[in-house]
Amino acid sequence: MELFIVYWVVVALLFVIGIIQIIVKAAKNQPVKPGLKLVIASVIMLVIGAGACAVILSNLNIGH
């Protein structure tokens, strides 16, 4: 259970850090690509994590 909490904290941190980087670099007229990569990575992790949680919580018995 602790691993799930750590995973969601990491996803949230990546998203927040990415958004902050985008805002700061856009204000300084610098490339925002690194921040954009963090946001995209956090969204991908969100989708994968949500899918894994849905499978675990629904207790699917595939192939039985």
How remote is the C-alpha of 19 from its chain's centroid?
Answer: 12
Q: What residues contact 19, with CB distance under 8 A and at least 6 apart? A: 35, 39
| Token reading at 38 | 């963090």
Grade residue 62 by pLDDT with cuts at 50, 70 and 90.
Answer: low
**The pLDDT of residue 38:** 94
- Asked which of 8-17, 24-33, 34-43, 53-62 is least confident by mean pLDDT, the reply is 53-62
pTM for the whole structure: 0.79
